Chain A
Amino acid sequence: AQSVAQPEDQVNVAEGNPLTVKCTYSVSGNPYLFWYVQYPNRGLQFLLKYITGDNLVKGSYGFEAEFNKSQTSFHLKKPSALVSDSALYFCAVRGNSNSGYALNFGKGTSLLVTP
């Protein structure tokens, strides 16, 4: 089964510092990987995705993610964190045809950026 894991429940970063939110994946075949962000009491907003091509993917709000096939990772990064980046972040992988290729999500990582 296609799955992702987010090993950290919470990440704390000081404003202005770089941030990393970790994600590892387990798939058969080529992975289609996604990052979403959820602000309090809101829906999920798409940040970026990796389908093929360059291992460094750039997305919305200054976020980027690095696909690493040898480490089966897809970590989300930002060079300089903002307080407004505080939110819940989900990594996801496209599932198989038996789910209509629905996304399989990690459990989420809460990011707290302090002033």
Chain B
Amino acid sequence: NAGVTQTPKFQVLKTGQSMTLQCAQDMNHEYMSWYRQDPGMGLRLIHYSVGAGITDQGEVPNGYNVSRSTTEDFPLRLLSAAPSQTSVYFCASSYSSAGGGGNTIYFGEGSWLTVV
């Protein structure tokens, strides 16, 4: 059982480049989300999905796109990278969130992104 798998672990991008951070989970979780972690700011929600075909914006969605074509995968796309997007990105998943009674959310190992 691999849990939540993120790739790549480390990436350096030039300003203006695009890229996709991959996230996959093998726990049949309906709910998936992306957070970014910045020093002194905790984790902030970028986008989330409550099931295949359904996505929505979180607290800091600008500059990012997501899609959810399958239950297992939830890629995060940076459209035109900017230095402000230098951060650590975490993908997370849990069982149904709606009225989910506080289901535990499981996190991937993170993707360290630097935009120069």
Contact = CB atoms under 8 A, between A and B. Distances in A.
B100 to A, nearest CB: 6
B24 interface: no
Which of B43, B45, B100 has the largest number of chain A CB atoms within 10 A?
A: B43
Given A51-B101, A100-B31, A100-B48, A43 B110 contact: yes
A94 B105 CA distance: 10
Contacts of A102: 33, 45, 48, 58, 97
Interface in B34-76: 35, 40-45, 48-50, 56, 58-59
Contact of A43 (B31, B44, B98, B107): B107
B104 A46 contact: yes
A34 B42 CA distance: 14
Interface stretch (A13-21, A62-70, A77-85, A103-111): A103-111
Q: Is the interface of B mostly helix, strand, loop or mixed?
A: strand
Categorize the interface residue count of chain A: 20 to 34
A100 B102 CA distance: 12
Contacts of B104: 34, 46, 49
Given A32-B102, A100-B56, A106-B42, A43 B97 contact: no
B90 A100 contact: no
22 contacts: A34-B105, A41-B110, A43-B90, A43-B107, A43-B108, A43-B110, A44-B90, A44-B92, A49-B102, A49-B104, A51-B102, A90-B42, A99-B48, A99-B59, A100-B31, A100-B49, A100-B97, A102-B45, A103-B92, A103-B105, A107-B40, A107-B41
Interface of A: 9, 32, 34, 36, 41-46, 49, 51, 90, 94-95, 97, 99-108
